[in-house]
A and B are shown apart, each in its own frame.
Chain A
Amino acid sequence: MANTPLQSGHGHIYGPGKSVKSEGIIPVWLEQNGSRVMGGLIDLSAKIDGTNKVRAFWPKSIRTATPCYEGSTKHTYIPMPTYLVLEAVSAEGTVVKIAKGEGLPLLVDGMSLVKASDTTKKVTVSSANIAIDTDGFYKLTITANAFGTLAAGDVLVLETVAAKKPLGLTKTNLIYDGMSEDELDATKLNVVLCDAGRVIADTAPAASAEMRAALQTVKWEDIY
């Protein structure tokens, strides 16, 4: 078999004594094109945006196919928090509905969000502005026009503190894939990465058009 579809779940579940409620297997990969040759570390205590650690965004697990990029040290990788907008928001709208699920990044107090396609407007997230709907998605309260308008399917990404460019947006080159073994007290994750194949767009973590353009060997396919 030249191409190998993988059994995919929520990615690696880690941490000592963490109780993770599993919602069953969520298939993400349709196939990987035999390019699972890169490996390295994700440092859970690394500060992604200069303030918030990786573990703050993913306290229990990272869903497979989360976009990553290589950090300043070789073979260390930084996963990129991405957030899928569920419903359109007008310029007057003050509530943004954002997907939340097992293995997807949390909204973290103090983080700054920008629209992947328009990085000029940012919103600083405060825990007071975050609510969770009974259906399980985030409702982020913003001031009107803070993002401009948003459409369903837009992707929000983390903004770096220093540069006015969203983190890793132009550096996206790898996709995180599941671990092969559990660790009891993980501060660093051994990760396997893949940069070619097909993923299910609905179940994979959100990837903006910019990220997809940077990863031309990966196809996002609408299945469900």
Chain B
Amino acid sequence: MAAFAYTSNFQSLMEMAGLLSNEQFSSFLEDVVFPYQSGPERDTLGFRVLPLKPAFDMTYAALQRNSHIQIMAKHVALDAHAVPEPTQGAEALEGTIPSVATNITIGKEDYLHEAQLLMNAELVGTPLVEAAQDMIASKLDEKFAEHNARASYMRDYVIFHGKYEITTTNNSGSFFNVEFDFKVPAANKIAKTSTAKWWTDDTFATEGSAADPIADIDALVQKLEDRGFDKSNIVIEIGFKTFRALCRHSKVREAIAVFMNPGASQSPSLAATTYGMSDAQLAAQLSARCGVEFIVRRFVTAVPKFDVKTQKFVMNEQTGFVEGTLVARPKGEVGEIHATGHLMVGGPGDSIHSSGLYDGGRILVDYNCNLREKVQIWDTEEIYLYVLTQGKNMAYLTTI
């Protein structure tokens, strides 16, 4: 009976799936797992994906643009040489690119369950190789989704902070206290205080009595206009809760009422004339009034943390964007994604070890099977950093 053979002979899942060589494993990752993607896609909005660097070079170097304003060539006398110019357009950013890793471990007990499932699949007509490949693909896909989540989080974090920080909160259980600062000038940051805050609480329940969101947004956009950007080339990024509350802010409703109908009556109230409008209509009018596009950020991820009191893992929700903060940035690219390739250690692959590359070599997957312990492990690794090269052309507004 076939079933007996599988349980009496320890066959690794990779062996069952017919994926023993590095080449077979890499092809499987690219051809089967990559199109499989079930989780959220990786967000690279505003960042240029650079070609992979060599595996041995885990450093990045990028140019920080100092100013949007172009210097011009100078007139000289007929026989004269050109006057030396400073290279004011750039400043170097450099550092080490951090790595991200996950793993899947299957012990003997789990393996027996997996093997049983595979045998059942075979009994109902699914070829063993196909069933085993599907099982491996679904397991790895979950891990690649975790990689994508970290990347999308990093993207928002870099945009909303002007730097990337690895902390005990966003990297619980691993290393922390690491910072990549992309040098947003302090002068580009506006913080509303006291009654001028748009809301006096972080639940957006109470409006600041002296709040004037429209004027503040104008001032924020002006920070970039003063550096030579046209409004049509400026976008504002904002968290989804803040944007929803902003559209419903009484001062914004008043401004929209006047914008849509310059002769609007002050009585009973200007804001009242917009009560029939949906959030989407308010958002469109707000964008039209301010003359810039709003990009609403929504990606929420989580970092598990063990709570001794409840003896459960608590999913600490994390967003790379910051509610209450608006970021004005140039439209288009504001940064680059620096990433390295991977060293493939080992031979051509066998029943106890195989390496494969995923997503054009972006992620390395190492498979190990310990025959003595009957434990199978897949390790995934990726080395990359979202580098903000337009830090000096970013402007920030903190409203709560």
Mark A residues whose CB is within 8 Å of B.
1, 4-8, 23-24, 26, 34, 36, 84, 86, 97, 99-102, 104, 135-137, 178-181, 200, 202-203, 223-224
Nearest A-chain residue to B107, judged by Cβ: A7
Could you say which residues of chain A place their CB within 8 Å of the CB of B105?
5-7
Contact A23-B312, Cβ < 8 Å, known A6-B105, A7-B107, A180-B109:
yes
CB contacts (< 8 Å) of A223 on chain B: these are: 173, 306
Cβ contact within 8 Å between A5 and B377: yes
From B112, B313, B373, contact of A4 by CB (8 A): B373
The digit string for B353-383, where 1 denotes a CB below 8 A from any CB of A, is 0000000000000001010110101000000
CB pair A224 B311 closer than 8 Å: no
- Distance A4 CA – B173 CA, assembled complex (angstroms): 20
Is there an interface contact between B309 and A86, defined as CB atoms closer than 8 Å? Answer: yes
Would you call B309 and A6 a contact (CB within 8 A)? no
B110 at interface by CB-CB < 8 Å: yes
Q: Do the beta carbons of B312 and A137 come within 8 Å of each other? A: no
Q: Is the CB of B373 within 8 A of A34?
A: yes
Chain B residues within 8 Å of A99, by CB: 308-309, 311
B-side contacts of A24, CB under 8 Å: 313
Partner of A180, one of B106, B112, B309, B313: B112
Could you tell me the distance in whole angstroms from the C-beta of B354 to the nearest C-beta in chain A?
Answer: 14
Q: Which 10 A-B pairs have the closest CB atoms?
A: A101-B311, A224-B306, A7-B107, A7-B105, A4-B373, A202-B306, A223-B173, A136-B310, A180-B109, A1-B370
- Contacting residues, chain A, for B227 (C-beta < 8 A): none
| Cβ B306 vs Cβ A6 within 8 A | no
Interchain residue pairs with CB less than 8 A apart (16): A5-B375, A7-B375, A26-B306, A26-B313, A101-B312, A102-B311, A104-B311, A136-B309, A136-B310, A137-B310, A178-B107, A180-B112, A181-B109, A181-B112, A223-B306, A224-B305
Q: Please determine whether B107 and A6 come into contact, CB atoms closer than 8 angstroms.
A: yes
Specify which chain A residues have a CB less than 8 angstroms from the CB of B373 in the assembled complex: 1, 4, 6, 34, 36
Chain A nearest CB: distance from B224 CB in Å? 42
Interface-centre pick from A8, A100, A101, A224 (highest chain B CB count, 10 A): A224
Question: A203–B312 Cα gap in the complex (Å)?
Answer: 9
Q: How far is the CA of A181 from the CA of B109 in the complex (A)?
A: 7
B108 CB within 8 Å of chain A:
yes
Q: Which residues on the A side are within 8 Å of B108 (C-beta)?
A: 180
Contacts of A136 in B (CB 8 A): 309-312
Collect the chain A residues with CB atoms within 8 Å of residue B313's CB. Answer: 23-24, 26
B172 lies within 8 A of chain A by Cβ: yes
Instruction: Determine if A100 and B311 form an interchain contact, defined as CB atoms under 8 angstroms apart.
Output: yes
Specify the chain B residue showing the minimal Cβ separation from A32: B373
Residues of chain B with a CB closer than 8 A to A26's CB = 306, 313
